[in-house]
Amino acid sequence: MGAALADGADLDRPQGRMSHVERNRTAWTEFAPEFAEWAPRAWGSDQFEWGVWHVPESELEALPDVAGMDTIELGCGTAYISAWLVRRGARPVGIDITPAQLETARRMQAEFGLDFPLIEASAEEVPLPDASFDLAISEYGASIWADPYRWIPEAARLLRPGGHLVFLVNGPHMILCSPDEELPAGRKLLRPYFGMHRFEWDGTGGIEFHLGYGDWIRLLRENGFAVENLIEIQAPPEGAPHRYAGLPDRDWSRRWPSEEIWVARKRA
């Protein structure tokens, strides 16, 4: 088992081969019941916590004051981030490709008495007008499941000048040290850093996208963003272990960043 790096656009795929969007929709339809069980806890939390280590936003301060902002969550899944945003005075919209995930989000809206638009669409092709939002956010949504060379330009199109883009991804160290999706990262480099882009992990039907630091910076700059911060998340010293078999444990994530948050702003 292992992750294969594959270059080339899905537009050039052989006839009959599923696109990464189709593959990921199928994968997340299978994952959806697990996340439906977890959704009430996430929706019921008064604070937003980043990533698998649940580091509070109040500690990291990755987001601006969202009160009065038009926001879009790219790859919203069960939309717990948008629920947190609306409680703080934002006007969120959630975008996701998986009907089963959106079904859970709508059920949570009814249960918690919160209402905001949920749209079935890819973050690479959002059916909304230019310059509609002040903040685009993604946490393990479009940020790793959509092609960055497509969703970053789309985020730039959707944001107003001065708007914020904030997204969480896995750190390159983790990707380079991971043998496959089912096994966590070790302490040896197993794959090349140069050329990182598309990863087809054995053991899951999904396709992920991960870039190196230079590629992220160039891509963001080419699309009119100024990078304002890069928050490399360190696992807290204590707490419950995370529930994801393929991600590194606390000891690893105390030594190296398994997750990081990019904060960028669209230039005026």
Instruction: Please give the pLDDT value at position 239.
Output: 77
Instruction: Please give the pLDDT value at position 76.
Output: 97
Measured from the Cβ of residue 112, the count of other Cβ atoms closer than 10 Å reads: 15
If phi over 0 gives left and psi between -120 and 50 gives alpha, with beta otherwise, what is residue 215?
alpha
Q: Which fold has domain 15-266?
A: Rossmann fold (3.40.50)
Per domain, the residue ranges of the chain are 15-266
Per-residue pLDDT of the chain (268 residues; tens, 9 = 90+): 234 343 333 433 334 456 899 999 988 888 888 889 989 999 999 889 999 999 999 999 999 999 999 999 999 999 999 999 999 999 999 999 999 999 999 999 999 999 999 999 999 999 999 999 999 999 999 999 999 999 999 999 999 999 999 999 999 999 999 887 667 889 999 999 999 999 986 656 789 999 999 999 999 999 999 999 999 999 999 877 787 767 888 999 999 999 999 999 999 8
Q: Which residues contact 83 (CB under 8 A, 6 or more apart)?
A: 42, 43, 108, 109, 112, 114
Instruction: Please give the pLDDT value at position 159.
Output: 98
Tell me the pTM.
0.91
Which residue is associated with the tokens 């190296």? 256
